[in-house]
Structure 1
């Protein structure tokens, strides 16, 4: 389990960070093992990141403070 305990960022801050680094949302998503659609949905406010992949993406983006279960998907 990974706990993210840093200050949360706004979607605008995350977007500005992508621009500053020259990264696309899709590239970032692939590098972090989440679907680009989940990240785009979070960035556009269509998903809140409450569960599953959207939760994982929101926590990794720093938009949401939370925990990521590293055993997720392991049977």
Structure 2
């Protein structure tokens, strides 16, 4: 498994790919507001869509149900 990223590292990872947070959210079927909140640390990604966003961003290890 890969090491998890900090929210700052996840933002840098998105920037390195040339993607905005909104683009990433839309590509992965996420709510952009929830994705921004996970990156800001206001949502911890414990359950639901915040969990899914955190896992896809690499901030948290876990399984994403398809």
> For residue 6 of structure 2, what is the aligned residue in structure 1?
10
Q: Please give the TM-score of this superposition, normalised by the length of structure 2.
A: 0.91
Structure label with greater radius of gyration? 1
Moved over 4 A (4+): none
Q: Which digits, 9 at most, give the CA deviation of each residue in 1:15-55, with x for residues without a partner?
A: 11122222100000000111101100001111000000000
> For residue 57 of structure 2, what is the aligned residue in structure 1?
61
Q: Unaligned 5+ residue runs, structure 2?
A: none
Query: Higher relative contact order by CA 8 Å / sep ≥ 6: 1 or 2?
Result: 1
Q: Unaligned 5+ residue runs, structure 1?
A: 71-75
Matching of residues 1-75 of structure 1 within 5 Å: 5-70=1-66
RMSD: 1.0
